[in-house]
Amino acid sequence: MMVIRLLIVGMLLGGVIARLVMLNHTRQFAPPTAGLDRADLKRVVSRGDIDSQPYCFADDVPILLTAGHDGLPGKADVDDNLDGIVDDRRETGAVGSDDECLGPADEGYQAALDFPGTLSISKGGFVPCEAEANPPRWWTSQWGWFVVGKEVAE
C-alpha cells in the first residue's frame, strides 16, 4: 500500500515539474510587444521612430478567395468536392490546397483583385489610413501587428 502511495506522489510531483518546465519554455513564444506598454508603443510609432503603417476598418472592401499559385481551384487535378468535375470553381478554397484567403493588408491582395476566378467572399477589413484618423491597429516592420486600445487611441 505504501508503494502505491509513493508511486502516486511521485507521478503528481513529476506532473507538476513537467508543467513548470513547460511554462518556463513557453515564455520564449510571447509576442515581441508583450512587455511593452501600449501607450508608449503608440507614441513611438506615431512619432515615426520606427517603420509603421496605421490601419483603419473599412466595411466596403472585399475579402478575396483566390485559386492560389497554381491558378487552379482547390488541389490541382483533383475533384475536391466529388461532383465529377475536376478543378471547377466550386472547389476554390478546398482544404489542403494552395488557395488563399486575402484581405487588404495581405501581400498579393491588389494583384488578386484582377485574377480570373477570384471570389469575393465577404466585405470588411483593415486598410491603410492616416494616423490622424485615430487608427485602432498598426503594422510595424519590427513588431508586426499591434492593437491600440480605445483608452490609448483617444
CB atoms within 10 A of CB 14: 10
- Most confident residue range from 62-66, 132-136, 148-152: 62-66
Supply the pLDDT for residue 54: 85
Mean of per-residue pLDDT scores for the chain? 81
Determine the average pLDDT of the residues in 5-30: 79
% the chain with pLDDT above 70 = 86
Look up residue 41 and give its amino acid: L
Distance, in Å, from the CA atom of 127 to the CA atom of 55, rounded to the nearest integer, reads 5
d(CA 100, CA 130): 28
Mean pLDDT of 20-42: 69
Rounded to whole angstroms, how far apart are CA atoms 98 and 100?
Answer: 6
Q: 15, 7 in Cβ contact below 8 A? A: no
Q: Name 52's bridge partners.
A: 140
Least confident of 54-58, 86-90, 133-137: 133-137
> Residue 55 and residue 53: Cα distance in Å, rounded?
7
Q: Which residues touch 150 (CB under 8 Å, ≥6 apart)?
A: 136
**Stretch 12-16: mean pLDDT:** 86
Higher local confidence (pLDDT), 101 or 42: 101
